[in-house]
């Protein structure tokens, strides 16, 4: 399937609205295809991150590195996700790393061009608001679960949020996502089986 056709499908699924044909060329002009092999870093902490991405195929993760040198998974990025736009809130360097967990095809848009398209097109602005609403809901639920749920509930929520990726992801990344050690995750999984 054509990468740009897949991009239109992804955006339509996220915003739950059919994109008008006349808007296709605007979208195609904004995004350039990029391919990354497994275990590559798309973004490092400290980098300027004024871009937005759509993951067309593959799997990635966003993570922090704490003062002790441990990485903590913020979230996983699956095929069909739009990400990277949180840096649009200001000209501050990234505080996260984003790495590929599989070979990936993504579409990349420059932040300035992207914001220009939003400013000049009401339909684009409505789409953007719907995308941000979805992201806000995800982050709110993730934060609530992290503070209020126990490890078992966080693990079950991981399985619900990311169905089908457990076998594609290193167990230490899942453990860091739910806030436990890999040993605790192994015990937790055994107790559920």
* Mean predicted confidence (pLDDT) in 18-46: 88
Strand, helix or coil for residue 50: coil
Encode pLDDT of 79-124 as tens digits: 989 887 655 555 678 889 999 999 999 999 888 887 788 778 787 7
Specify the pLDDT at position 9: 87
- Look at residues 185, 189, 190 and name the one whose alpha carbon lies nearest to residue 174: 185
Report the b/e string of 7-27 with b at 16+ CB within 10 A: bbebbeebbeeebeeebeeeb
Portion of the chain with pLDDT greater than 70, in percent? 96
Round the average pLDDT of the chain to a whole number and report it.
88
Q: Return the domain boundaries, the chain.
A: 3-131, 149-193
Alpha carbons within 13 angstroms on the beta-carbon side of residue 24 total 10
Q: What is the pTM of this model?
A: 0.88
Encode pLDDT of 137-157 as tens digits: 888 988 888 889 999 999 999
Specify the pLDDT at position 30: 86
Strand order in the sheet with 82-83: 31-36, 104-110, 51-57, 82-83
CATH number of 3-131: 2.60.120.10
Specify the pLDDT at position 89: 54
Specify the pLDDT at position 179: 94
Residues 6+ apart with CB under 8 A from 131: 14, 15, 82, 85
Alpha carbons within 13 angstroms on the beta-carbon side of residue 11 total 25
Specify the pLDDT at position 52: 85
Encode pLDDT of 121-136 as tens digits: 787 788 788 888 888 8
At which residue do the structure tokens 């739009």 appear? Answer: 82
């Amino acid at each position: 399937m054509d990468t740009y056709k897949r991009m239109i499908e992804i955006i339509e699924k996220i915003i739950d609205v059919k994109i008008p044909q006349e808007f296709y060329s605007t979208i195609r002009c904004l995004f350039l295809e990029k391919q990354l092999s497994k275990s590559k870093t798309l973004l490092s902490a400290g980098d300027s991150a004024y871009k937005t991405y759509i993951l067309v195929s593959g799997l990635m993760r966003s993570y922090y590195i704490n003062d002790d040198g441990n990485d903590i998974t913020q979230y996983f990025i699956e095929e069909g996700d739009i990400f990277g736009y949180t840096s649009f809130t200001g000209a501050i360097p990234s505080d996260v790393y984003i790495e590929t967990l599989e070979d990936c095809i993504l579409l990349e848009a420059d932040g300035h061009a992207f914001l220009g398209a939003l400013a000049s097109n009401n339909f684009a602005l409505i789409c953007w608001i719907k995308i941000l609403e979805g992201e806000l809901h995800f982050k709110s639920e993730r934060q609530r679960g992290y503070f209020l749920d126990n490890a078992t509930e966080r693990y079950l929520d991981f399985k619900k949020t990311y169905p089908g990726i457990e076998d594609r992801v290193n167990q230490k990344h899942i453990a860091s996502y739910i806030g436990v050690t890999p040993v605790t995750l192994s015990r937790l999984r055994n107790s559920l089986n």
